[in-house]
Amino acid sequence: MAEFTATQGRYLSYIHTYTEGFGLPPAESEIAEILGVSGPSVNQMLKNLQKKGLIRREPGKARSIEILVPIAEIPKWKGKRISRIVTRWGPAPPKKQRNPIQAGDSAATNTRQIYRFKISLRETKPLIWRRIETPDVTLEKLHELIQTSMGWTNSHLHQFKVGVDRYTDPRFLRNDGEDFGATSYKGIRISDLVSQHGENLRLTYEYDFGDSWLHDIELESKAEADPRQKYPRCIDGAQACPPEDVGGVYGFEEYVGIITNPNDEQYGEMLEWNGPFDPAAFNPERATRAMKKGLPKW
């Protein structure tokens, strides 16, 4: 019979119930939210469960938790009702376009036109931000440029908000027609948004609906490409990107306070969880290389 503490049993109970209900394991941010703990605490607990042979995970793959405990030995979930924003991914069903922007609404793409954006991670102090330059690309590609310039790993859902309209990857929309209020961004380009909303374009980019990282995206300028430069590129910015699943803005503040203080009693735990971390570290050249390399396929 498997041996585990009451707390470990609560984790196993939630993971099992979630997996049974939705057909895939929960994200660490979802575990943290329902159990009322920080992202680092969840990560450390999963490491402990794995060391004890109670679960296994596939390295580098999100939502890969597999419980090794016999079902009969897993405690029954007694917490609050389990839910998630999107139950599964699949091609978006045919439906009438909800918003006025359609792919290709703008004039023919001008490959020599360069858009400069400032990306600010809302509520972070000191502010975490990037300034990038890119040709006219789709929102799918802009998502990738935001991820790579910031330092995220594309491990969670995302969406853009422009005015009252929201756009996301069509794979996040459900086959039954009930999504989380967003429309597919397939084929929609920066120039389409500028054509609709003007050159004072402002967007919100939300990443990880559990931690809810809100990025304010401001179009600063539009100009002809410099023939001496290669695009896309990151030209400025400040501060390191938070670790994934750290618990949002407040979890990150707590994490920074611990990881920058070797005398803190939780310092060793945080160091094991994510390694050394310098909150002030940022290099635009490294960010540019990441932008040009792109995201891994998943």
Task: State the pLDDT confidence band at 81, using cuts at 50, 70 and 90.
Answer: confident
Closest by alpha carbon to 19, among 78, 74, 85, 67? 67
Task: Parse the chain into domains and list their residue ranges.
Answer: 6-73, 113-239+282-293
Whether domain 113-239+282-293 has CATH 3.40.640.10: no
CA distance 8 to 15: 11
Whether domain 6-73 has CATH 3.30.930.10: no
Task: State the pLDDT confidence band at 230, using cuts at 50, 70 and 90.
Answer: very high
Q: Which residues contact 199 (CB under 8 A, 6 or more apart)?
A: 219, 222
| First-to-final CA distance of the chain | 37
- On the question of pLDDT at 101 being above 90, the answer is no
The pLDDT assigned to 84 comes to 63
Of the listed ranges 65-79, 106-120, 175-189, the least confidently predicted one is: 175-189
DSSP assigned state of 189: B
What's the mean pLDDT when you consider all of the chain?
86
Q: Read off the pLDDT of residues 27-61 as tens digits, 9 standing for 90 and up.
A: 877 888 888 877 667 877 888 898 899 999 876 56
The pLDDT assigned to 277 comes to 96
The pLDDT assigned to 113 comes to 93
pTM, full prediction: 0.69
